Amino acid sequence: MVKLTIDGRQTEAKEGAMVLDAARALNIYIPTLCAHESVSAYGACRLCTVDITTRSGRNRMVTSCLYPVEEGLAVKTTTEKIAAHRRMLIQLLLARCPESPELKAMAKKLGADDTPFPKEDPAKNHNCILCALCTRACDEVVGQSAISFVNRGVAREMAIPFYNDSDACIACGSCFYICPTNAIQMTDKNGKRRFVMPHNTMEFELAQCAQCGRYHLPKRQIAWMAKKSGQPLEFFARCISCREEVRL
């Protein structure tokens, strides 16, 4: 175990744990947009920036989601400097996606009413802040890597290959659930699941429950589940409610 202080409070954390997690274990609030316990840390939004002083007396700002705990580390999560830094960051994000309600709420929390920077056209980024939560979820949790970043620099955006190759996608919707700014929309309608991504749309067929007849899962996801679990396809022919009933 590693001993460190966060906002003056002594604490212990496992070696290799990140400062963000150690702070959260103490119920200390650090704002984040791109952090999620299900995927690896990435450091895209940088809102979790904190002030650290190492044992040797070096002082600097780091992203707490990517900084491992150290013996004798002194962390400050809410200094004037940090607050100003976070305000600037959220203002920049807000300039990128000026209409995102989630970013507006975060900005308010961090003490910024509006952004002083020139706002980009909302149709350009479609509320996507390139936090990579969706691509990490698709890669690390689902294991399909159906979406990724394409292009570079200011042209970087999240999309499927060639903007129309959705072969790897199983339509599970993990990206939709994890997106911190709701940049991905998912709707089930008329037996189809439709995704509206920032730069492309996809449509997949849903399967009907053999018993109650409701559309319960995308066909591709069923095939994926059968492959991963080793259960026969017929096992997933009925929806989860109908299956549970039988077991009772």
Site string for another protein, 86-125 (x = CB under 8 A): ----------------------------------------
User: Percentages helix, strand, coil for the chain, rounded to the nearest 5?
Assistant: 35, 20, 45
Taking the least distance from each CB to another protein, the nearer of 71 and 165 is 165
Q: Does residue 200 touch another protein according to CB under 8 A?
A: no
CA distance 137 to 174: 7
In the complex with another protein, which residue's Cβ is closer, 127 or 135?
135
Beta strands in 93-139 (DSSP E): none
For residues 84 and 95, what is the distance between their CA atoms, to the nearest angstrom? 16
Q: How far is the CB of 218 from another protein (least distance, A)?
A: 19
- Name every residue whose Cβ is closer than 8 Å to that of residue 215 and which is 6 or more positions away in sequence: 188, 191, 206, 207, 208, 209
Cβ atoms of residues 184 and 196 within 8 Å = yes
Tokens of 11: 């604490």
CA atoms of 67 and 108, how far apart (whole Å): 26
Which 139-178 positions form the footprint of another protein (CB under 8 A)?
139, 144-152, 160-162, 165, 167-168
Query: Looking at beta carbons only, is 6 or 128 nearer to another protein?
Result: 128
> With respect to another protein, which residue has the nearer C-beta, 162 or 232?
162
Length of the chain counted residue by residue: 248
Query: Which residue has 């212990």 as its token pair?
Result: 12
Q: How many residues bind another protein (CB under 8 A)?
A: 17
* In the complex, least distance from residue 226 CB atom to another protein, rounded to whole angstroms: 21
Question: Crossing angle, helix 101-109 and helix 80-96, to 10 degrees?
Answer: 160
Within residues 25-64, the interface with another protein by CB under 8 A covers none
For another protein, the closer CB: 163 or 235: 163
Q: Which CB sits closer to another protein, 162 or 248? A: 162
The nearest distance, CB 3 to another protein, in angstroms, is 39
Alpha carbon distance, N-terminus to C-terminus of the chain: 45
Dist. CA 175–CA 203, nearest whole Å: 15
Q: How far is the CB of 161 from another protein (least distance, A)?
A: 4
Task: For another protein, give the closer residue by CB, 31 or 161.
Answer: 161
Least Å distance between CB 224 and another protein? 14
The footprint of another protein (CB under 8 A) covers 135, 139, 144-152, 160-162, 165, 167-168
